[in-house]
């Protein structure tokens, strides 16, 4: 099973930027797709973005398209989520997750497809 560790969360004003990182270790076979999810007290956990570790274009939730960018550093076993033009509604705990499956545009945001989860990192956007 993959072991995942998030880092890089924090507090920022609206319009600001943050980068959150996910470091992966352990069983490489069990992390074919890496996804980012977020959860706030007022909402259910939702998919933010995902990427296949063997390549391909990332997937994004409509709410973050054009503002968030997902990138992969395979040499460092790390996935980065660059978040720009942050809004108060982006405030949430952000979780990194790994799936054994190659997920498609129709399945990447299905939490049940992910078998490993990190502990989360808090992102707060407020003035």
pLDDT in tens, 63-101: 999 999 999 888 878 999 999 999 999 999 999 999 988
Segment 7-63, tens digit of pLDDT: 999 999 999 999 999 998 876 655 789 999 999 988 999 999 999 888 778 999 999
- C-alpha–C-alpha distance, residues 92 and 69, integer Å: 17
Those residues whose C-beta lies under 8 Å from the C-beta of residue 57, and which sit 6 or more positions away, are none
Cβ-defined contacts of 112-117 (< 8 Å, 24+): 113/33, 114/33, 114/35, 115/1, 115/2, 115/30, 116/1, 116/2, 116/3, 116/4, 116/26, 116/30, 116/31, 117/4
């Amino acid at each position: 099973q993959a072991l995942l560790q998030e880092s890089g969360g924090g507090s920022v004003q609206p319009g600001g930027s943050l980068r959150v990182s996910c470091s992966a270790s352990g069983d490489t076979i069990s992390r074919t797709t890496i996804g980012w999810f977020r959860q706030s007290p007022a909402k259910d956990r939702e998919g933010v973005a995902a990427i296949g570790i063997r390549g391909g274009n990332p997937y994004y939730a409509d709410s973050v398209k054009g503002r968030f960018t997902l990138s992969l550093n395979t040499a460092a076993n790390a996935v980065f989520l660059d978040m720009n033009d942050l809004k108060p509604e982006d405030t949430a705990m952000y979780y990194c997750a790994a799936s054994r499956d190659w997920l498609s545009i129709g399945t990447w945001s299905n939490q049940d497809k992910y078998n490993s989860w990190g502990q989360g990192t808090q992102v707060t956007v407020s003035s």
